Structure 1
Amino acid sequence: MLCVPQLESAEAIAAAPAILAVDGVDAVFVGSADLALSLGDPGRVPALVDEALAAGAAAGKPCGLATITPEQAAGAVRRGARFLLVGNDAGMLARTASGVAGAVRKEVASDG
């Protein structure tokens, strides 16, 4: 069993070193979208994410990030993320449905 608290506010990011020091906490995960919503200022998110990544590195525990694209995932790893969420169920379902619909349109058009 793993204990991975989510950091979704500026207060949680500031408390990351203390959270990571709690016995039994194995890692932290930054919920960037919820963090942006809690801040009301998405421009502050990158600096706070970097702060969380640094706290994880200093504690010797992994910090994870959510990404959408392979490019974002690679960037997150370069920044120091140790584990990733790449996409989510709703986004993957939407992309797959769009691809299937496009393929059907193409087939119908070629039957012309």
Structure 2
Amino acid sequence: MKLSPTFRDVLASAEGPLVGLWAASGSPVAAEIMAGSGADLLLIDGEHGPVGIDGIVPLLQAVSAYPVTPLVRIPWNDHVLVKQFLDAGVQNLLVPMVSTPEQATDAVRAVRYPGPAGEREGGRGIGSALARSARWGRVPGYVGAADDFVSLTVQIETAEGAANAAAIAAVDGVDALFIGPADLAGSMGHPGKPGHPDVVTAVDGVIDAARAAGVAVGVNAFAESDADRVIARGAQFAFVSADVTLMVQGSDAAVASFRERTGGEAAQQEADSY
């Protein structure tokens, strides 16, 4: 039995920038709808979304029939969580709030099994024969080749992380950096203002550092102008919307259109930008 290509593999074979969407609602139906959109990537959010270990398998199963690469963001850089999510079948892990090379190294250790004869450290518990990760033992040689089946992306979303981007990108085992401008803005003293010039400069600096290190980098960019700018700067992927965002926008627009046509008063709402 073969597993799907990892995010690392997809990045290596990409002929242009990749576009991604978020599955933040925790709904397998919504995730399947997003997976069928033609997006290259789908980010399943276990940090801010209502997705735990029990919910991750149905989401992965729901999108598995589509030509989309799912990434899963865990709540924190924690060895227990990494082990559980990987054993549940997550191949592409996103670890949030990585601000130092030491934290990146710890995340790498968490996703790796120990090397033979102690040649390297690895903190992932070996239980693949009992887990979906190796399809309950049906993937031949899973333990020995596990690095080929898993990719690790770390999220840069603090001022400290942005300053350490080059060192984080240099950590062996980090396949990509993902920039979160919202938390980065808060960390820099501009909460709710990811478009602040200081934040834009920091985002550009992380992109430049990753590119110089030869490591893939992407950005969360829901505004079209932001997505276009970071791709032009050198980012290889961008996440441009989410299931919940599209539902909010679509439902608001449908109701407002009806109110306008029938003489009612449209609700005036302004949502925060992630």
Question: If the TM-score is normalised by the length of the shorter chain, which range does it land in?
Answer: 0.7 to 0.9
Structure 1 alignment gaps of length 5 or more: none
The 5 A counterparts of 1:68-87 are 68-87=222-241
TM-score normalised to the size of structure 1? 0.84
* Aligned residue-pair number: 109
The 5 A counterparts of 1:14-33 are 14-33=163-182
Q: Is 1:3 matched with 2:157? A: no
SS in 2 for 1:86: strand
Deviation at 1:23, TM superposition (A): 1.3
The 5 A counterparts of 1:101-112 are 101-105=255-259, 108=262
Which residue number in structure 1 is paired with residue 186 of structure 2?
Answer: 37
Identity rate, percent: 36
What is the identity, as a one-letter code, of the residue corresponding to 2:245? G
SS in 2 for 1:24: coil
Name whichever of 6-15 and 35-44 sits farther off: 35-44
Deviation at 1:89, TM superposition (A): 3.2
Deviation at 1:24, TM superposition (A): 1.1
User: What is the distance in 1 between the residues matched to 2:159 and 2:256?
Assistant: 42
Which of 1 and 2 has greater Rg? 2
**Per the alignment, do residues 53 and 2 of structure 1 end up closer, same or farther by CA in structure 2, a change over 3 Å counting?**
same
RMSD: 1.8
User: What is the distance in 2 between the residues matched to 1:43 and 1:106?
Assistant: 37
Deviation at 1:60, TM superposition (A): 1.0
Match of 1:92 among 240, 246, 258: 246
Deviation at 1:69, TM superposition (A): 2.9
Name whichever of 86-95 and 27-36 sits farther off: 86-95
User: What is the distance in 1 between the residues matched to 2:151 and 2:258?
Assistant: 43
Name whichever of 22-31 and 36-45 sits farther off: 36-45
What is the identity, as a one-letter code, of the residue corresponding to 1:22? V
Deviation at 1:3, TM superposition (A): 0.8
What is the identity, as a one-letter code, of the residue corresponding to 1:4? T
Name whichever of 45-54 and 34-43 sits farther off: 34-43
User: Contact 2:218 / 2:237 at 8 angstroms: preserved in 1?
Assistant: yes
Q: Is 1:62 matched with 2:211? A: no
Higher normalized helix content (fraction of residues): 1
User: What is the distance in 1 between the residues matched to 2:204 and 2:214?
Assistant: 15
Instruction: Give the number of the structure with larger relative contact order, counting CA–CA contacts within 8 Å between residues 6 or more apart.
Output: 1
Structure 2 alignment gaps of length 5 or more: 1-149, 191-195, 264-274
